[in-house]
Structure 1
Amino acid sequence: MYIGIDVGTSTVKAAAFDDTGRELAVEAHPVALSLHTGHVEQDMEEVYTAVLEVLNALTSRIPHPVDLAGLTGQGDGVWLVDKDGRPVRPAASWMDGRAHELLDQWLADGTFETVFRRTGSAMFPGCPGPLLAWFDRYEPASLDAAATALYCKDMVFRRLTGAPVTTDVSDASMPFLDPRTRTYDNRVVELLGLTHRRGLLPPIGDPITTAEAHEGLPPGTRIANGPYDLPSCALGTGVTAPGDGLLIVGTCLASLVATTDLDLKGEAAGLYISTDRPGHWLRAMPAMVGTAALDWVLSTTGVHHDEVDALLAETPPGANGVRVLPYFAPSGERAPFVEPRLRAELTGVSLESTKADLIRATCEGIGFAARHCLEAAGLTGTLAVCGGGTRSPAWMRLLADVLGRPLRVVEGEVGARGAVLAAAERFGVDLDVAAWTEPTAVVEPDAARAAYYRDAYDDHLARLAQARHRART
């Protein structure tokens, strides 16, 4: 049995697989987000307790020996811990917006641009650079008390195993890593005013260990840490060949394209995620809001998730003139452009508009945002899709039409699956990767609807340009 652990933003999951990649069982536990005045935080103890609960529940359900475990989790944010790996304060989430004023300053004075040209990382308020600078300015006591500024999965790995504090190149990619040397760029640390906090950055390593008498896993279990959830999902869907892409329709709408071309001269947006293979990167355009935008609209209109497919069938492409720019995150947008003050817009609504119109317009808006990101990331090959949104067949058909290409839909716990494949690679365990990453369905676009959405996409881009102008004035 192989176990993948995925410490998500709102849900912690553990999945068990057999040696062919068949998903045997899944355990999940929700974790809370605390939102107040632009601050988005998580209780680290709650997160870690949830990890233990899903592991204990999973291993008790399937009492087979655990040959190997892999760990992944949400990226970015700041998880401050002391020398024993214990929380100094609640974690600042990747969704946090408190550092937007610092980012505004860096956008204006050229720091943002310089950092991108050195690292391929387009900073956003919830990434470690701005957050650490904010803490240094407004809450220095927290940094004084901390030994390390970790990422989510690293905190969990440290607690599970007692292993020395490390991170991997994927999490380190934003915003301090030089993707060519795969080491921290001290000039970037200096540009962000953090040279005196340089010691908080975790060492970059290849963290693998064996759990002997630690929590959550049977004694003797081999476990590897990382990569974080976006590159883990790429592994779990088989997206490794240059030009192939992945769209993750989850809380974050993430677009990834595998590449061997490191172009730091392009538009300063998204990031290059370093992978376990030197010279191979994922060009990532992780938009801030995916299913979270639809969740907000559903909650506001009183519609349940299981009603979405039927409602999408009630209204035609174009949603009877209703349009949604789906930029709902309190920290604005980070891909395929950075606009900290951008907010969602709903237009074309009248007394004749229906709930179905609102739902379809939201799904279409998310689809247009995905198309924008994938084009910017350089998609030329096949496209895989995973995430919670894949549970809606009607939404997948709509996405295929909006994107104008077939979708390789991979269902199940894709991040956990990728974590196992990464662990197998690191420990030298031979698994049939093609079998582990086989799609569950292929959704083809409808030619007529795809043609309609080509024009509608141009309209989306025009409205977005106007909204970005308003956000800056």
Structure 2
Amino acid sequence: MYVGIDVGTSMVKAAAFDGTGRERAVAARPVGLALHGGVVEQDMEKVYAAVVAVLEELTRRVPEPVELAGLTGQGDGVWLVDGEGRPVRPAASWMDGRAHELVGRWLADGTFETVFRRTGSAMFPGCPGPLLAWLDRHEPKALDTAEAALYCKDMVFRRLTGAPATTDVSDASMPFLDPRTRTYDNRVVELLGLTHRRRLLAPVSDPVATAETRGEGLPAGTRIANGPYDLPACALGAGVTAPGDGLLIVGTCLASLVATTELDLSGEPAGLYISTDRPGHWLRAMPAMVGTAALDWVLSTTGVPHAEVDGLLADTPPGAHGVRVLPYFAPSGERAPFVEPRLRAELTGVSLESSKGDLVRATCEGIGYAARHCLDAAGLTGSLAVCGGGTRSAAWMRLLADVLGRPLRVVEGEVGARGAVLAAAERYGIPLDAKAWTEPTAVVEPDPGRAAYYAKGYREHLTRLDQARARARA
């Protein structure tokens, strides 16, 4: 049995696979977010307890010996730990918005662009640079106490194994890693005013770190590898490794990734280049802030259960009777394919005649337009795979194929966990058939007529977005 662990933003999952890549079982536990005034935090002890619980459940349900485990999880944020790997304070989530004024200041004075030109990272309020700078100003004692500012999976790896604090090149890519040398750029640390906190940046393990577990969740002595984080892990799990091929992750974060061997740090600073386990190969990433979270908010507000989404999409025509949604609901604004910390969602074209179906369809269309914008900016030229919770809606997948105007290779199941296992197997020299492990479960073709309709709608979306960005800056 091979076990993949995916420590997500709202759900912790562990999946068991056999040697052919067949998913045997999945265990999951929800984890909460504390939101107040733009601050978004997580209780690290509860996150770790959820990891242990899902692993215990999984190993009870699939009793075969665990050959190998791979770990992945949400990226960005700041997970401060002491010398024992215990939390110093709650983790600041990647969704956190408290550092938006710092990002705004760096946008205005050129620091933001300089960092992008050096590292390929377009900072946003919830990434480690701004968050550490904010904590240095407002909670310096927490930084004084901490041994390391980790990423989510690194904290879990530290606790499961007792190994020293480390991270990997994928997590370190935002915002301090030089993608050419695969080491921290100390000039960037200096530009963000964090030279005196440089010790908090965990050593980068290249290739990913390995260790044996201590007996919590998994049997003691189980081999485990740490990384990459969830976006590149999903790319591995979906078979997206050839230059030009892309992946759209329809999850809490709407992430668009395109594999590339070219490092282009020109153009509008946005997204990031994620370093992979292969030097000279990157993922051009445009991780938009809100994906399924936008639809969840609309469903909660309108009282529509998830089970009714497919029916509402089927009963509502393209264009949603004139209702339009700019789906930028995150409290920290947007980070891809542009950075606007003050951008907020907009709902237009609503009247007393608008239905719940109109609101749901307009939201799904808006998310689709945002995805197209990100994929265009990331340089998609090859095939496109899709994974994430949104793939459970067949109607939404058909809508996305139409909005994007291209076939979708739908990869279902625990794709991030699958990629974590493949990365671990590569690290340990275990020969798994990656092609067999990453076969799509379906291919969804676009309807030519609807695709043409949405091509016009996409141009209109970009115009509305330009106007909204101008208002956000006013």
Q: TM-score range by the shorter chain?
A: over 0.9
**Are the counterparts in 2 of residues 311 and 356 from structure 1 also a CA contact under 8 Å?**
yes
Q: How many residues align?
A: 473
For 2:395 and 2:346, the matched residues in 1 are separated by: 24
CA offsets per residue over residues 374-415 of structure 1, 9 Å max, x none?
A: 000000000000000000000000000000000000000000
**Are the counterparts in 1 of residues 150 and 167 from structure 2 also a CA contact under 8 Å?**
yes
- Give 2:172's aligned residue: 172
CA offsets per residue over residues 233-259 of structure 1, 9 Å max, x none?
A: 000000000000000000000000000
- Give 2:155's aligned residue: 155
For 2:209 and 2:462, the matched residues in 1 are separated by: 45
Task: Report the CA distance between 1:207 and its aligned residue.
Answer: 4.3
- Give 2:131's aligned residue: 131
- Give 2:388's aligned residue: 387
For 2:342 and 2:333, the matched residues in 1 are separated by: 5
Task: Report the CA distance between 1:212 and its aligned residue.
Answer: 5.3
- Give 1:251's aligned residue: 252
For 1:287 and 1:82, the matched residues in 2 are separated by: 31
For 1:186 and 1:210, the matched residues in 2 are separated by: 28
**Are the counterparts in 2 of residues 103 and 125 from structure 1 also a CA contact under 8 Å?**
yes
For 1:52 and 1:257, the matched residues in 2 are separated by: 33
- Give 2:303's aligned residue: 302
Task: Report the CA distance between 1:208 and its aligned residue.
Answer: 3.7
Q: Structure 2 unaligned segments of length 5 or more: list them.
A: none
Matched, 1:419 2:425: no
Q: 1:438 to 1:199 in 2, by over 3 A?
A: same
**Are the counterparts in 1 of residues 208 and 228 from structure 2 also a CA contact under 8 Å?**
no
Q: What amino acid does structure 1 have at the position aligned with 2:145?
A: A
Q: State the Cα RMSD in Å.
A: 0.7
CA offsets per residue over residues 88-117 of structure 1, 9 Å max, x none?
A: 000000000000000000000000000000
**Are the counterparts in 2 of residues 249 and 290 from structure 1 also a CA contact under 8 Å?**
yes
**Are the counterparts in 2 of residues 325 and 344 from structure 1 also a CA contact under 8 Å?**
yes
Percentage identity across paired residues of the two chains = 83
Q: 1:259 to 1:141 in 2, by over 3 A?
A: same
Runs of 4+ in 1 over 2 A off after TM superposition: 206-214
Q: What amino acid does structure 2 have at the position aligned with 1:99?
A: A
Task: Report the CA distance between 1:220 and its aligned residue.
Answer: 2.8
- Give 1:441's aligned residue: 442
- Give 1:87's aligned residue: 87
**Are the counterparts in 1 of residues 255 and 285 from structure 2 also a CA contact under 8 Å?**
yes
For 1:165 and 1:123, the matched residues in 2 are separated by: 24
- Give 2:76's aligned residue: 76
**Are the counterparts in 1 of residues 162 and 214 from structure 2 also a CA contact under 8 Å?**
no
- Give 1:320's aligned residue: 321
**Are the counterparts in 2 of residues 161 and 209 from structure 1 also a CA contact under 8 Å?**
no
Q: What does 1:253-272 align with in structure 2 at a 5 Å threshold? A: 253-272=254-273
- Give 1:113's aligned residue: 113
- The DSSP-based 3-state class of the residue aligned with 2:262 is coil
For 1:202 and 1:191, the matched residues in 2 are separated by: 19
Answer with 261-270 or 250-259: which moved more: 261-270
Matched, 1:454 2:441: no
For 2:105 and 2:211, the matched residues in 1 are separated by: 45
Q: Structure 1 unaligned segments of length 5 or more: list them.
A: none
Task: Report the CA distance between 1:465 and its aligned residue.
Answer: 0.3
For 1:380 and 1:159, the matched residues in 2 are separated by: 41
**Are the counterparts in 2 of residues 211 and 218 from structure 1 also a CA contact under 8 Å?**
no
For 1:337 and 1:326, the matched residues in 2 are separated by: 14
For 1:373 and 1:325, the matched residues in 2 are separated by: 14
- The DSSP-based 3-state class of the residue aligned with 1:261 is coil
- Give 2:294's aligned residue: 293
- The DSSP-based 3-state class of the residue aligned with 2:69 is strand
- The DSSP-based 3-state class of the residue aligned with 1:58 is helix
**Are the counterparts in 2 of residues 287 and 336 from structure 1 also a CA contact under 8 Å?**
yes
Q: What does 1:217-236 align with in structure 2 at a 5 Å threshold? A: 217-236=218-237
- The DSSP-based 3-state class of the residue aligned with 1:251 is coil
CA offsets per residue over residues 159-185 of structure 1, 9 Å max, x none?
A: 000011110000000000000000000
For 1:211 and 1:284, the matched residues in 2 are separated by: 31
- The DSSP-based 3-state class of the residue aligned with 2:417 is helix
Q: 1:165 to 1:322 in 2, by over 3 A?
A: same
For 1:436 and 1:345, the matched residues in 2 are separated by: 40
- Give 1:465's aligned residue: 466
For 2:214 and 2:78, the matched residues in 1 are separated by: 28
- Give 1:19's aligned residue: 19
Task: Report the CA distance between 1:211 and its aligned residue.
Answer: 2.4
**Are the counterparts in 1 of residues 78 and 132 from structure 2 also a CA contact under 8 Å?**
yes
Task: Report the CA distance between 1:314 and its aligned residue.
Answer: 1.3
For 2:465 and 2:61, the matched residues in 1 are separated by: 49
- Give 2:104's aligned residue: 104
**Are the counterparts in 1 of residues 76 and 171 from structure 2 also a CA contact under 8 Å?**
yes
- Give 1:49's aligned residue: 49
When the two structures are superposed, what TM-score results if normalisation uses the length of structure 2? 0.99
Q: What amino acid does structure 2 have at the position aligned with 1:55?
A: L
Task: Report the CA distance between 1:219 and its aligned residue.
Answer: 2.8
Matched, 1:196 2:205: no
Q: 1:187 to 1:208 in 2, by over 3 A?
A: closer
For 1:368 and 1:209, the matched residues in 2 are separated by: 40
Task: Report the CA distance between 1:202 and its aligned residue.
Answer: 0.2
